[in-house]
Amino acid sequence: MSRTEDTRALSLLSQTPVLPVLVIDNWRHAVPLARALLAGGISVLEVTLRTDQGLSAIRAIRDEVGEVVVGAGTLTRPAQFAEVAAAGAQFAISPGLTPALLEAAREQPLPYVPAVASASELMMGMERGFHLFKLFPAASCGGTAMLKSLAGPFPEARFCPTGGIGADNFCDYLGLPSVVTVGGSWVAPASLIAGEAWQEIEARARRACEAAREAGVYPQ
């Protein structure tokens, strides 16, 4: 991953006010789920590798829903870069960072978003040329107050805060200049996916997009 790929990650994630974090237990749910989110106005998705269906779900979305950008989440091991790329993932995102992951990210072409939960981790990522980070777990590691504090010493860092954020407060995050998009499972929680509640998921996506527009926080 070069500086260009870091910029590409930034432009991909900037395309959506909310990045749905998806836990898919049955890959056959992936296509109707992606279509429901797209119909509600969300076109960038994170499919986690928390289930063994994640890679098949990514492949199904790439094959059948060309209008969405699909990334692979929960990347914790360097070997997963090749696996998610082979499945068709268009970016990769982790819940943390390690020196091995940051090194491996540079050797492969996929745009990559490591996560931080402290100033030291942010400095480790920036030393290696990264500027866009997931902040995880956002609500419990400091929330909007932490992001405002980090903007002082690190004005060039950009964030996708994720973890403990919901419909009632995501616009508070999105209103910060350093926040590109907000990640979360509230738009499509695993229970609604398992229940095939596509209309409810579409409605939640639409509400989130409308709320961000009405609050004047997206597009920024």
Ligand X SMILES: O=C(O)C(=O)C[C@H](O)[C@H](O)COP(=O)(O)O
Site size for ligand X (CB under 6 A): 15
Quick one: which of 150, 43, 53 has its CA closest to 90? 43
Nearest-angstrom CA–CA distance, 133 and 126: 10
Nearest-angstrom CA–CA distance, 64 and 35: 9
Residues 167 to 196 in contact with ligand X, rule: CB under 6 A: 183-186
74 binds ligand X (CB under 6 A): yes
**Contact pick of 53, 80, 162, 178 for ligand X (by CB under 6 A):** 162
Contact 112, 93 (CB under 8 A): yes
Whether residue 177 is preceded by a cis peptide bond, meaning omega within 30 degrees of 0, is no
In the bound state with ligand X, the residue whose beta carbon lies nearer, of 133 and 186, is: 186
**Contact pick of 32, 88, 142, 164 for ligand X (by CB under 6 A):** 164
**Contact pick of 16, 45, 48, 160 for ligand X (by CB under 6 A):** 48
Tokens of 196: 């095939």
Quick one: which of 56, 26, 20 has its CA closest to 40? 20
Q: Which of 46, 83, 127, 200 is catalytic?
A: 46
Least separation in angstroms between residue 201's CB and ligand X is 14
Query: Catalytic site residue 148?
Result: no
Tokens of 91: 């970016």
Place of tokens 């994720």: 162
**x-or-dash pattern for ligand X, window 110-149, by CB under 6 A?**
--------------------------x-------------
**Contact pick of 32, 39, 50, 128 for ligand X (by CB under 6 A):** 50
Beta bridge partners of 18: 182
Least separation in angstroms between residue 85's CB and ligand X is 17
Measured CA distances, 104 to 53, 81, 108, 110 (Å): 24, 8, 7, 11
Quick one: which of 84, 37, 75 has its CA closest to 57? 84
Least separation in angstroms between residue 20's CB and ligand X is 9
In the bound state with ligand X, the residue whose beta carbon lies nearer, of 34 and 97, is: 97
Query: Catalytic site residue 134?
Result: yes
| Contacts to ligand X by CB under 6 A | 21, 48, 50, 73-74, 95, 136, 162-165, 183-186
